[in-house]
Amino acid sequence: MTDDKRFVPDEGLAPASSALPGAAGPLQETGPPPRNKWLDVWDQFKHHKGALYGGILFFAIVLVVFLGPLVWPYDATYIDIRARNQGPSLSHPLGTDQLGRDTLARMMAGGQTSVSVGITAMLLALFLGSLVGVVAGYFKRLDGILMRLTDLFLALPLLPLLLVMVLLFRDSLNAAFGPETGIFILIVGAIGVTSWMPTARIVRGDVLALKEREFVLAARSIGTRNSMMILRHILPNVLSPIMVSATLGIANAIITESALSFLGLGFPPDFPTWGRLLFDATDYLQQYPERVFWPGLAISLTVLSVNYLGDGLRDALDPRIRGR
Amino acid sequence: MLTFTIRRLVLAVPTLLFISLVIFLLLELAPGDPMAQVPLTVPPEVKEKMREALGLGQPMHIRFLKWIVQFFWIEPQILIDNIFGTGFADGKLRVMSWQTRSPVMDIVVQRIPQTLWVVGTAYMVGVLIALPIGIYSAYRQYSIFDQAGTFVSMIGFSVPPFFSGVLVIVIFSVNLGWFPSIYDTTHKVVDWDSFVIQLRQMVMPVMVLALQITAQISRFMRASMLDNLNQDYVRTARAKGLSEYIVVMVHVLRNSMIPVVTVIALGVPAIFGGAIITEQVFKVNGIGQLLIGAIQANDLPMVQTLTFIFALLIVVFNIIADVLYGILDPRIRYD
């Protein structure tokens, strides 16, 4: 795409003539300046309609969930027992639950937890994965041992282990940090520790290829240290796979957290998350089937939007596809 | 190929030992006391005796070795005894569940058929639906069918089983009343009528699991077909006048199936893990439900054995996938 623009007819030939010795006149601009890589990425991203709408939807969900409680009059924990089990109405658009708490307020509060768990766990997994991937790809001596470690982690049965971890460490962390922070740390830590492996593998592969490139050789020949080499030259170039795994990581973390809450091993009952709301609503499945619908829809829509976002990012960040 | 298989099998042994050590240490280092439920009026020396009766008196490494011996040496003997009626394992200590005081493996063997029925059927149904969808989506790339297939598989990826499961219960069980919402594991198939009942109670869990499997496998099938459709040998096949059906369904399909078969093999253990949630939703009395129950009851030998069985499945199916890949694709040489 950039090359096409630079060779617009009457400007494309200008530099050659002005570069000739003896050619008079001031040097002319050689077409538009080289475009920023991220502008190209954005151009390609815009063409992927699903990704664009997915991104918009995801940011809308995040905005509503975090800013909604500021304008919404009801508190998520406010109990109004006389208004319990109500259907949708003007004051409670999604109805109320068995204790008269407003479902919309609880959905927003639950969304805050679910989205924060998703993003924090993704950041942790991304950090671990990039660290292992870069170190394994860059330092040959550590490659074997780190990749065996990754293989071992991939062979662990993750959901059972997560359940065991949550059950076993819940009480001690609760005692140390209080019930809400403790379980937050536990779930984020557990999901992060068990989902860094795909990132590590992808990053390692890219680093291995980058290490053989000329610019790395050039940087090394002027005496760049390893730490600088990784920060300046390697990391910016493996940013694309990291960003793609980031989106997939959010989706994965949100689903895992909801699954744990759904199995009753996640956040405590008075602390709503989408998974917990779904779990509570299944008790009233016969009487109020619509109650399971909202949290389930929220989880599915968030994950769907993030997945589409990741799909579009993958296409936009891949220079082989970009510009087609 | 044979040396590769043997090498992989030999390498699997340290991997499995390490995994069992990780699981053991995780359970061991965790705070939590199996005696926590015992009333405070029980004197400490009696508690100590109960602890020893559970096998908790010895140091950590001895208990780990004991578990290894029980799981890898005594349990296979029990299996041989049961099949051939021999008496190798008479009077030997087995891995005992703290919850029920019966051997863990006996309970697991009771529970596995339920899981296999549901998960196995779901996997077969899912794969059988996924393959034609993948083939046709690739053959008519970017057609309406392809776009719809992409969308459906995105939904399959994004809707978690604990939502789709509850959703089908609301639709088919609460509103329409077609299928029972709870899977009755005591139901025995003896004649046609009971077989129909069995089928009806299996429809919903199978539907939920199959949606996820279809989403994944159909994507792989499509990508793999797309890779092959542009190859030179396809043009050659067309050029020599083969019919379109033969070209696609014989030449392209056979080559595209190579990676898909390995993906299908790799997906089996993941499905066992994912079935934990589906079993919970539909109250299927399988090994996933057993694991959740054991976790809640602090039954450490049961949790350890079950988690290890899941790990064993992953390692075994990884080897199967690798070996299959080598057998199916003669271009792959492992040595």
Share of chain A above pLDDT 90, in %: 5
What pLDDT, on the 0 to 100 scale, is given for residue A243? 84
Q: Per-residue confidence at A131, pLDDT binned at 50, 70, 90?
A: very high
Q: Say if CB B314 and CB A157 are below 8 A apart.
A: yes
Residue linked to tokens 């069918």: B145
First to last CA, chain B: 8
pLDDT per position as a tens digit, B200-216: 888 888 888 888 888 88
Q: Say if CB B35 and CB B43 are below 8 A apart.
A: no
Q: Tell me if A167 and B306 make a contact (CB, 8 A cut-off).
A: no
Chain B residues with CB under 8 Å of A169 CB are 30-31
Please name the member of B154, B162, B295 whose beta carbon is closest to the beta carbon of A307. B154
Share of chain A above pLDDT 70, in %: 82
Interface of A with B (CB under 8 A): 151-152, 154-161, 163-165, 167-169, 171-172, 251, 255, 258-259, 262-263, 265, 275, 278-279, 282, 285-286, 289, 292-293, 296-297, 299-300, 303-304, 307-308
**By CB neighbour count within 10 A (0-12 exposed, 13-18 middle, 19+ buried), where does B81 fall?**
middle
Q: Give the count of domains, chain B.
A: 1
Q: What sign does the CA torsion over A301, A303, A306, A312 have?
A: negative
User: Taking all residues of chain B, what is their mean pLDDT, rounded to a whole number?
Assistant: 81
- B261 within some domain: yes
- B104 within some domain: no
Highest mean predicted confidence (pLDDT) among A182-186, A261-265, B243-247:
B243-247
Question: In this complex, is the C-beta atom of B296 within 8 Å of any C-beta atom belonging to chain A?
Answer: yes
Q: Tell me if A304 and B32 make a contact (CB, 8 A cut-off).
A: no
Tell me the domain boundaries of chain A: 47-67+102-322
Q: Tell me if A300 and B158 make a contact (CB, 8 A cut-off).
A: yes
Query: Does the structure show a pLDDT above 50 at A2?
Result: no
Q: How many CB pairs below 8 A link A and B?
A: 124
Domain that holds residue B136: 2-35+111-328
Give the span between the Cα atoms of A300 and B155, in whole angstroms. 8
CA atoms within 13 A on the CB side of B74: 18
- Please give the CATH superfamily to which domain A47-67+102-322 belongs: MetI-like (1.10.3720.10)
Please name the member of A258, A282, A308 whose beta carbon is closest to the beta carbon of B154. A308
Give the span between the Cα atoms of A167 and B303, in whole angstroms. 12
**By CB neighbour count within 10 A (0-12 exposed, 13-18 middle, 19+ buried), where does A262 fall?**
buried
In CATH, what number is assigned to the domain containing residue B144? 1.10.3720.10
Q: Tell me if A299 and B163 make a contact (CB, 8 A cut-off).
A: yes
- B42 within some domain: no
Query: Does the structure show a pLDDT above 70 at B90?
Result: no
Chain B residues with CB under 8 Å of A297 CB are 163
- B83 within some domain: no
What pLDDT, on the 0 to 100 scale, is given for residue A4? 43
Query: Does the structure show a pLDDT above 80 at A172?
Result: no
Q: Say if CB B333 and CB B7 are below 8 A apart.
A: no
- Lowest-confidence region among A27-36, A176-185, A212-221, A279-288: A27-36
Taking residues A15-29, what's their average pLDDT? 49
pLDDT per position as a tens digit, A218-251: 998 998 888 888 888 888 888 888 888 888 888 8
pLDDT per position as a tens digit, B291-335: 888 877 777 788 888 888 888 888 888 888 888 888 887 776 665
Of the residues B33, B166, B173, the best mutation for testing chain A's interface (the one with the most A CB atoms within 10 Å of its CB) is B166
Chain A residues with CB under 8 Å of B115 CB are none
Give the span between the Cα atoms of A165 and A180, in whole angstroms. 17
User: Taking all residues of chain A, what is their mean pLDDT, rounded to a whole number?
Assistant: 78
- The residue with greater pLDDT, B89 or B203, is B203
- The residue with greater pLDDT, A322 or B62, is B62
pLDDT per position as a tens digit, A49-98: 778 888 888 899 888 888 877 777 777 677 766 766 666 776 666 677 76
Q: Tell me if A160 and B307 make a contact (CB, 8 A cut-off).
A: yes
- For the record, the structure tokens of A72 come out as 């919404």
Output DSSP code: residue B181.
Answer: S
Q: Say if CB B272 and CB B310 are below 8 A apart.
A: yes
- B93 within some domain: no
What pLDDT, on the 0 to 100 scale, is given for residue A124? 93
